[in-house]
A and B are shown apart, each in its own frame.
Chain A
């Protein structure tokens, strides 16, 4: 797979996760979201930005619970729950949001 952003071609794996994490840009995130049928809103960006910050610190995506807690803190309890995150990212906050945030896919029994 690949994405096209501003005339550049960004390589991705079979499932749409980008190969080189340094290729990520906001424009690319919009492009990946589009291919996932997601329209990026401020709430989507809130999640994506948190994931990227967490990744920068820990080199892995946070546990879903940690993400929920962070969102609860920044967006309030009515949005800080698994259900709301699934509304934002119907294929799951861990996998789909990671894809848009340009992070590797969480592997294992998850």
Chain B
């Protein structure tokens, strides 16, 4: 069923509702499992390679440890009253109809075990309180459904108790890792960062070659020599960006955008081959130790290069880790310039320059694009930009409005703090979960189709590497081209006029003068 729009300019009409509650399909996603990590991937992260013999004891001990160390986790386990406010807030529930993807039900897969072993009622009267025994089947069920949550925390926004459901997912994944059941995608990647410095496995030689190639491209396009420096000691700014920015489309166009902005600002900046990754998948698997180890690489790179500032590129959960945890994970950053936020987001940096009139744009260069903006979950709900509440919503939009003439927001219930996940976040951006990713993207795609119909929107911008890759894969399923997803700094790159750059106008004037 669609909803009836009474105020439609062409008269009342039915429009598809991105948040429409689906018919229940019990067990629809049962048994869906991403590939498990091989023993060597597990070992690198300090986890057992396969299911340990005393898995039950280890799992319960881990749960007890988490509840003891993290009081919030225990409160989240104890306080849910099953009010139901979260039930229809999850994009995976909306996309799959599987009732176990209602956040409350998904959480209860773990909560029912906690109750059985750690509460009075559950220990003595399990049948009264929905407590159940921990079995291998339960572990498999956890593995399945806790990999159908992208830890996007949309449901948490609507929880009257403020239960952070992503914490439950993270805890479940950590318990699974501790007994030897890890997810291949996330754990292999964390190992690569430890070995090589980034998720891709891009070595310094290849990284340097890629950056040189991009410098050539920019010069070919603009006639201006714009540098993408690597490992330059004494630079003022260290840019830490997702390695997808060195590899994938449209990410790499965003990287070109950052370089142009730094160039115009006259900034001294560098990338690091040691910390060539902003992403921190330690967050996704709930592993503090792994998250810390990855974050410490950024600190080491900053110290070794002697920089005074750290700026993060377009990566959603990286900005959550950077903004919310970097100081506790890898601080204090007392060697950095205290006059700037530690760390700073590239959007804050660019917007500040725009506000101060330091960048020149020709917005008409983006006139072939009618744009909307997808708020990435971790930026929207777990961080801030600028010095005002809501800066993380306003600043990217301000930048986009400054560089393009046609900007339209999607349905208010699907953006900003209520933004829908792209469907591939939280360690689910893997080919073996493609079916889930498509279903999970449906609500966002429906909201996009609405603005396409109402305003002719052709493109959507994002500031997260995961969102960009996810959308470039799923958009063709919904009638869009794969390049309908763009980087925010790609839009900046399109419109920016570099100092000394000849423009079409100049050419026209030259011809007129000649």
Contacts and interface: CB of A to CB of B under 8 A. Distances in A.
A14 B199 contact: no
B188 interface: yes
A84 to B, nearest CB: 13
Contact of A110 (B200, B210, B213): B200
A100 to B, nearest CB: 15
A1 B254 CA distance: 37
Contacts of B205: 58-59
Interface residues of B, number: 40
A92 B434 CA distance: 14
Given A58-B206, A60-B200, A82 B247 contact: no
A64 B249 contact: yes
Given A58-B209, A60-B201, A82-B482, A109 B431 contact: no
A69 B213 contact: yes
Interface string A77-110: 0000010001000001011000000001011111
Given A58-B209, A66-B213, A108 B203 contact: no
Contact of B200 (A15, A69, A95, A106): A106
A60 B243 CA distance: 13
Contacts of B198: 108
A65 interface: yes
Given A14-B432, A82-B482, A108 B249 contact: no
B432 A15 contact: yes
A35 B303 CA distance: 49
A107 B201 contact: yes
A104 B209 CA distance: 19
Q: In this complex, which of B189, B249, B315, B483 has the most chain A Cβ atoms within 10 angstroms of its Cβ?
A: B249
A23 to B, nearest CB: 18
Interface string B163-204: 000000000000000000000110011001000001111110
Contacts of B188: 107
Interface in A13-40: 14-15
Nearest to B246: A63
A68 to B, nearest CB: 9
B431 A108 contact: no
Contacts of B199: 107-109
Contacts of B192: 107-108
Interface in A41-90: 58-60, 62-66, 69, 82, 86
A63 to B, nearest CB: 5
Contacts of B248: 63-64, 94, 109-110
Contacts of A104: 201
B279 A60 contact: no
A63 B432 contact: no
A59 B207 CA distance: 11
Interface in B227-248: 242-244, 246-248
Contacts of B201: 60, 104, 107
Given A59-B203, A60-B200, A66-B213, A109 B432 contact: no
Closest CB pairs A-B (n = 5): A108-B199, A109-B465, A58-B206, A109-B244, A110-B248
23 contacts: A14-B35, A58-B205, A59-B206, A62-B210, A63-B246, A63-B248, A65-B217, A69-B213, A69-B217, A82-B482, A86-B482, A94-B247, A106-B247, A107-B185, A107-B199, A107-B200, A108-B243, A108-B465, A109-B242, A109-B429, A109-B466, A110-B244, A110-B251
